[in-house]
A and B are shown apart, each in its own frame.
Chain A
Amino acid sequence: MSLKTQEMVLNMGPQHPSTHGVLRLELELEGELILDVKPHIGYLHRCFEKHCEAMTYPQVIPYTDRMDYLAAMYNNFGYAVAVERMLGIEVPERVEYIRVIMGELQRIASHLVAIGTYGIDIGAFTPFLYCFRDREKILNLFEMTCGARLLYNYMWVGGLSHDIHPDFQRLTKEFIDYFKPQVKELNNLLSYNKIFIDRTADVGVLPLDTAINYGITGPNLRASGLKFDIRKDDPYSIYDRFDFDIPIGEGTHGTVGDCWDRYYIRVLEIEQSIRIIEQAIDNIPEGDVQSAIPKRIKPPKGTIYTRVENPKGELGYFIISDGSVNPWRVKVRAPSFVNLTVMGELCKGHLVADVIAILGSIDIVLGEIDR
């Protein structure tokens, strides 16, 4: 007589504390061992791309906020760059500088959420609150600039919705001075913690060729060891003027491309973002931030694909114009969506606790996956 065994199917999510939103993972388990992972998405689908077809070009901007709501500035940024390239607008220097500063502040804020929530995923609650405390200060800067704390609608085609506050430069410098030691504290508290390293090193190793095959971008790709950053490799705005490094994963505590590398890349990127802000903050030229905003935005017939380095990876806008005031089609290449596809590959043979560690290290935002 042979005994029949059956695998346990565990639905993790959509209501689960650490699926970072409304992701559902269908886990096939043998005890605690993962045999298969199937991500189910679509719980947050809001028809962003279809909506865009009924909007005029500027009206799309608030919708881009709502994709990656942790990096709304950068979504605005990418869209603005795409439409400006279609129209062939030259943006004033002042606007470019402010955009870069806001973008990098947004990158720090987004990475802080990634790092903090990753701490929670691993079981450390305190770093999460430290990260959010510091992110709050960035949000205050944003609020001072444009009145909003999460969804900014700040970067318009050809300009900005508001000029910066007279105190903005001083307060940003104060923030940077305050924030630099905090990164060190965070490292001591979480990054170099023995238990944290045990939990994340050699877990969910993403080899470089797999990463490239799946189209992984952003910190996840760099953690696998490829120096690829659109800010350097396909420069937009004025990123070519600044001096910063692209950190890559080195497998300090395990294999290159493991969860610890993916986590630590974000810490290193925060430091690089600080460098960019430091170089830009004192050099903002005078000028009018709204002088280049066109009265009527009507790009010529044609298509464009523009990509920017969003905190999560390559954010691409593919826009088809039929020459009218409405875009004919706006397709978004969402980094979180592409990065999530590798989930099943990474989880096989790991334990349930590792699924959380891997998912957290990929750093997804469901608003962007489902759009």
Chain B
Amino acid sequence: MYEILTDIIGNQIVAYVIAAALPLFVFILPFALVAVLAERKVSAFMQDRLGPMRTGPYGLLQTVADILKLIQKEDIVASDTDKKLFNLAPILVFAGSYAAFAAIPFTSAYIGSSADVGIFFIIAISSLVVAGILMAGWASNNKYSLLGSMRSVAQIISYEIPAALVILTMVMLTGTLSLSEMTEMQTQYFWNWNIFGGAETGIVKILLIPFMLVGFIIFYISSLAEVNRTPFDIPEAESELVAGYHTEYSGMKFAMFFLAEYANMFAVSAIVVALFFGGYHSPFGYLGNAIGIDWLIPVEQLFWFTVKGTFFVIVQMWLRWTLPRLRVDQLMNVCWKYLIPYAFVNLIIVGILTLL
């Protein structure tokens, strides 16, 4: 990938910048646009209504219209806000959630940064979002925003622990911190996916399956909490805190929070897919291999990655429109009393099993 770009452009640094920005412009931004519309359509179907129908055929241009509206809107900064932090916060949240995509392998041909510590990088960079949220809440000079951001920080930091423990489990199983290596180990057929015991063989593989399932559920739940989705959306609990930390934001700054949320949804799903569901690998061989066209394989891989990622995004939407919201103390109970102990037990058992 870099070599081709360097050849075309002739400058290595520029080539790297372009390669890093590619997923953002080619994939994530369009995905966020589609996901916003999908969310509205999914919720509409679940709720016995049509959703947006007026903008474009079947309401397909609704998000475009929304974005155009948000760009035109006046950029309101309320009085007595901390202007610097107020302006910085959406950028930080946006950057934090988009930077996570750098280490996610979309296909075998493309990964923004195939660093050896990819998964570690993702955990670290997504914590940047916490700082952004806290800034937004504090700088807004609004009590609802402050309450929302305090809740959010407490929640995200707490739920990072079970998520990290599960990631640690997977790292132990695969023996690597790099997401692309982890994906490569789950190649060929779906029974090689980590959720089915990964590359282990024999009785160990079968014994691993229930613990992998538990690990997946713990990770998915804590990811939901990390991206503030229902039933863990208490930081922006509409009925309590109006809109939480982004109450005072309007126009493009609000759009940045909004897009970051949807990008986050996909990032979380992408990590789930890479950790447990074979990453970009097809569940049953490649057409490109069968008919002998090499360039078809990455295209197929991108397709499978998108399908799997979208599936978990839709599950998030499904949960959001079905479940009520937990209270802030119950949320902490779920994390500290259930998820963390189970994640620990899981870690130990998987550790023992991999040693066998």
A and B associate: yes
Chain A residues with a Cβ under 8 A of chain B: 8, 10, 16-18, 32, 119-126, 129-130, 133, 189-190, 193, 195-196, 198-199, 351-354, 356
Cβ 8 A contact of A124, one of B240, B241, B324, B328: B324
Interface class of chain A by DSSP: helix
Contacting pair A193 B323 (CB below 8 A): yes
**Known interface pairs A32-B328, A133-B48; A126-B237 also in contact (CB < 8 Å):** no
Cβ 8 A contact of A351, one of B230, B231, B322, B329: B329
Q: Could you mark each residue 311-328 of chain B with 1 if its beta carbon is under 8 Å from any beta carbon of chain A, else 0? A: 000000000011111111
- The interface residues of chain B lying within 8 Å CB-to-CB of A133 are 48
Answer yes or no: B184 CB below 8 A from chain A CBs. no
User: What separation, in Å, do the CA atoms of A123 and B49 have in the docked complex?
Assistant: 19
Contacting pair A199 B239 (CB below 8 A): no
Contacting pair B330 A198 (CB below 8 A): yes
Q: Select the residue from A16, A124, A190 with max chain B CB neighbours within 10 A.
A: A124
Which single residue of chain B is at the shortest CB-CB distance from A128? B47
Contacting pair A351 B328 (CB below 8 A): yes
**Known interface pairs A8-B143, A129-B47; A352-B240 also in contact (CB < 8 Å):** yes
Shortest CB distance B299–A (Å): 38
User: What separation, in Å, do the CA atoms of A190 and B238 have in the docked complex?
Assistant: 18
Q: List 30 A-B contacts (CB under 8 A).
A: A16-B242, A17-B238, A17-B239, A32-B147, A32-B328, A120-B239, A122-B324, A122-B325, A123-B230, A123-B237, A123-B323, A124-B322, A124-B323, A124-B324, A125-B321, A126-B46, A129-B47, A130-B48, A190-B324, A195-B231, A195-B326, A196-B324, A198-B326, A199-B324, A199-B325, A199-B327, A351-B329, A352-B240, A353-B237, A353-B327
Size class of the contact patch on chain B: 20 to 34
- The interface residues of chain A lying within 8 Å CB-to-CB of B322 are 124, 126, 189
Interface residues of B in 306-354 (CB under 8 A from A): 321-330
Contacting pair A353 B49 (CB below 8 A): no
User: What separation, in Å, do the CA atoms of A119 and B43 have in the docked complex?
Assistant: 15
Answer yes or no: B165 CB below 8 A from chain A CBs. no
Chain B residues with a Cβ under 8 A of chain A: 43, 46-49, 143-144, 147, 230-231, 233-234, 237-242, 321-330
Contacting pair B239 A121 (CB below 8 A): yes
User: What separation, in Å, do the CA atoms of A172 and B243 have in the docked complex?
Assistant: 41
Contacting pair B323 A195 (CB below 8 A): yes
Contacting pair A353 B231 (CB below 8 A): no
User: What separation, in Å, do the CA atoms of A32 and B327 have in the docked complex?
Assistant: 11
**Known interface pairs A32-B147, A129-B49; A353-B324 also in contact (CB < 8 Å):** no
Contacting pair B239 A356 (CB below 8 A): yes
Contacting pair B242 A17 (CB below 8 A): yes
Which single residue of chain A is at the shortest CB-CB distance from B234? A353
User: What separation, in Å, do the CA atoms of A353 and B46 have in the docked complex?
Assistant: 26
User: What separation, in Å, do the CA atoms of A125 and B43 have in the docked complex?
Assistant: 9
- The interface residues of chain B lying within 8 Å CB-to-CB of A190 are 324
7 closest cross-chain pairs (CB), A and B: A123-B325, A124-B324, A18-B239, A129-B47, A122-B324, A123-B324, A353-B327
- The interface residues of chain B lying within 8 Å CB-to-CB of A196 are 324
- The interface residues of chain A lying within 8 Å CB-to-CB of B321 are 125-126
- The interface residues of chain B lying within 8 Å CB-to-CB of A189 are 322
Contacting pair A125 B328 (CB below 8 A): no
**Known interface pairs A125-B43, A129-B49, A133-B48; A18-B240 also in contact (CB < 8 Å):** yes
User: What separation, in Å, do the CA atoms of A232 and B234 have in the docked complex?
Assistant: 43
- The interface residues of chain B lying within 8 Å CB-to-CB of A351 are 327-329
User: What separation, in Å, do the CA atoms of A192 and B201 have in the docked complex?
Assistant: 43
Shortest CB distance A354–B (Å): 7
Contacting pair B238 A354 (CB below 8 A): no
User: What separation, in Å, do the CA atoms of A133 and B43 have in the docked complex?
Assistant: 15
Which single residue of chain B is at the shortest CB-CB distance from A119? B324
**Known interface pairs A124-B324, A190-B324; A10-B47 also in contact (CB < 8 Å):** no
**Known interface pairs A123-B230, A126-B46, A130-B48; A356-B240 also in contact (CB < 8 Å):** yes
Cβ 8 A contact of A352, one of B46, B147, B231: B147
Cβ 8 A contact of B324, one of A10, A17, A193, A354: A193
User: What separation, in Å, do the CA atoms of A198 and B234 have in the docked complex?
Assistant: 15
- The interface residues of chain B lying within 8 Å CB-to-CB of A119 are 324
User: What separation, in Å, do the CA atoms of A179 and B43 have in the docked complex?
Assistant: 22
Which single residue of chain B is at the shortest CB-CB distance from A27? B143
User: What separation, in Å, do the CA atoms of A80 and B254 have in the docked complex?
Assistant: 52
- The interface residues of chain A lying within 8 Å CB-to-CB of B330 are 198-199
Which single residue of chain A is at the shortest CB-CB distance from B46? A126
Shortest CB distance A258–B (Å): 14
**Known interface pairs A16-B242, A123-B237; A195-B48 also in contact (CB < 8 Å):** no
Contacting pair B231 A125 (CB below 8 A): no
Known: A119-B324, A125-B43; 10 extra A-B contacts, CB below 8 A, are A17-B239, A124-B322, A126-B322, A130-B47, A189-B322, A190-B324, A195-B323, A198-B327, A353-B237, A353-B240
Shortest CB distance B308–A (Å): 26
- The interface residues of chain A lying within 8 Å CB-to-CB of B324 are 119, 122-124, 190, 193, 195-196, 199
Shortest CB distance A251–B (Å): 20
Shortest CB distance B329–A (Å): 7
Which single residue of chain A is at the shortest CB-CB distance from B239? A18
Q: Select the residue from B143, B240, B330 with max chain A CB neighbours within 10 A.
A: B240
Shortest CB distance B104–A (Å): 30
- The interface residues of chain B lying within 8 Å CB-to-CB of A198 are 326-327, 330
**Known interface pairs A32-B147, A129-B49; A123-B328 also in contact (CB < 8 Å):** no
Shortest CB distance A212–B (Å): 29
- The interface residues of chain B lying within 8 Å CB-to-CB of A122 are 239, 324-325
- The interface residues of chain A lying within 8 Å CB-to-CB of B48 are 129-130, 133
